[in-house]
Structure formats: C-alpha cells, structure tokens
Amino acid sequence: MTRAAPAWRRAAVAPRVALALAWLAVPLVPLLLWAAADRWPFPAVLPTDWGLTGWRQAAGQGAGGALGRSVLLGLAVAALATPAGAMAGRALALHRVPARRLVEALLLAPVAVPPFAVVMGLTTLTLRAGVPGTVALVLVLSVSALPYTVFVMRSAYAGYDVGFEEEARTLGAGPRAVLLRVHLPLAAPALATAAFLAFLVGWSDYVVTLVVGGGQLVTLPMLVGALSSATGNDAVVAAVSLTAVVPPLLLLAATALLARRGAR
C-alpha cells in the first residue's frame, strides 16, 4: 500500500502539471508564429510567407542592447535585494525583533502601496540626494523587490536548524567556514528563489525604469512598449517579446533544478 501511494500521487499530479505547462505555452504560440512570419494576412490561419524579417528588424531596433541592459539591471537588483532580504528574513525568523509587526508592515509597504506612489516618493528622495539616474533606478527597484526576498527567506529560515551552525562552531569552524560550508549550502535553494524573484522585478519593470530612468535607459519591456504602440510591427514585437521571455525561463529552470537538489 505504501509503495502504491507515490505512483498514485504522480498520476494525480501529472494532469495538473500538463495543464500548467499548457497554460504557459499556449500564449506563446502566436508569438512563435508571428516571429517566423514575413506575411500573415487576414483571414489566413497560418502565415503565408515565412522568414526572419522580424528578428532582423528587432536587431535593427536595438533589441541586443536592450537585452544586455535588462540582464544587467535584473542582476544588479538581485545582487542588492537578495542579501538584504536574507538578513531581514533571518532576523525575523530566528531572533526577537522589536516592533516586529511594524517592521513587517514597512517591509510589505512597497507591495501594499500603489507602485506609482512608491516610485514618485523614492524618486524625489534620490533626486534631492543627488544620486545618479542609473544608481537611483537600481535602488528603487531593489526596494520594490525587497518584500519578495524578505518573505521568501523568512519562510525558509522558519524551518532552518541553527544547530548545524552550532555544531560546526563546536568543531572549531570559524564564522567564514560556517557561512560558506554550512549556512549557504542549506539556504541555497531559498536564496536562488529569492534572487529569481528579485531578478524578475528588475527584468520586467516598465514604470519605474521609465520614470526614474527618464527614458534614457532602454530595456526590453520599454522597447516592447514602444514597438507595440505602432501598427504593422507584429513580427518585430513578437521577436522582441520572445527575447524577453527566454532569460526568465532559463533562470526558472536553474532555480527549480537547484531547489530539487537541495530537497535531496
């Protein structure tokens, strides 16, 4: 009976996984078709002419540079928001924090408060402080990503066994060895998830990048928005949109793989 249970559970989960994958994949089908279409007149079900015109136009519109800027922006946000979220999450989960409810409310504020209000408030502060535009953009997006990283890490540390660190210290390990050989390996799956969410905040943002960056830093979401506002750009919009989808999917796969290894 105990051996049949896992097989039964896998059989029950398989349709749900297939449905979730279909839910994610179906919207991409028109994009794939448009990206490979040179001509797709109405009411044809499929493109009448195939080619890579959309990709060539996307390259000519600066998709390569926008891709690089989006990647760097996402990585910078993840590099700031992930360790900050880990420290705050560990403190909330494992230590007595004065005014805990107030601290949690403040950490949740960037999500609870309308985004435009948060952006305008933080933009005013960074402008008065004389912070350069790109640095201000990274800081504002990191604040926006902080609620996600904090609460992911707090949930992870709620089930974290500090005894492993204490045993390592008893055996003579120093703070650096405890961090690198005990703490980080145990927290790696949660850190990867938090970093992925923070990367998505920087990668997919449009409003903050437009307001704080002043339109000078053109990322993929901004390029998609600009191209979508014109007519007759379906192929190039599809190509740029697919370019924007690939890196998050690769990171999601890497995060899932790391979480699976951590579960073992």
Query: Residue 66 and residue 164: Cα distance in Å, rounded?
Result: 44
The pLDDT tens digits of the residues spanning 219-256 come to: 999 888 888 877 677 888 888 888 888 888 888 888 87
**What is the tens place of the pLDDT at every residue in 15-24?**
777 787 778 7
The Cα–Cα gap between 264 and 259 comes to: 9
199 vs 32, more confident: 199
**Residue 3: pLDDT above 70?**
no
What are the helix (H) ranges across the chain?
4-25, 28-35, 53-60, 63-94, 100-112, 115-128, 133-158, 163-170, 175-178, 184-204, 207-213, 220-228, 234-263
Beta carbons of 120 and 211 less than 8 angstroms apart: yes
Q: What is the mean pLDDT of residues 91-103?
A: 84
Domains by residue range for the chain, with CATH: 66-263 (1.10.3720.10)
Question: Average pLDDT for residues 55-75, to the nearest whole number?
Answer: 90
- Of the segments 16-20, 38-42, 90-94, 147-151, which one has the largest average pLDDT value? 147-151
Neighbours of 34 (CB within 10 A): 19
Answer yes or no: are the C-beta atoms of 254 and 193 closer than 8 Å.
no
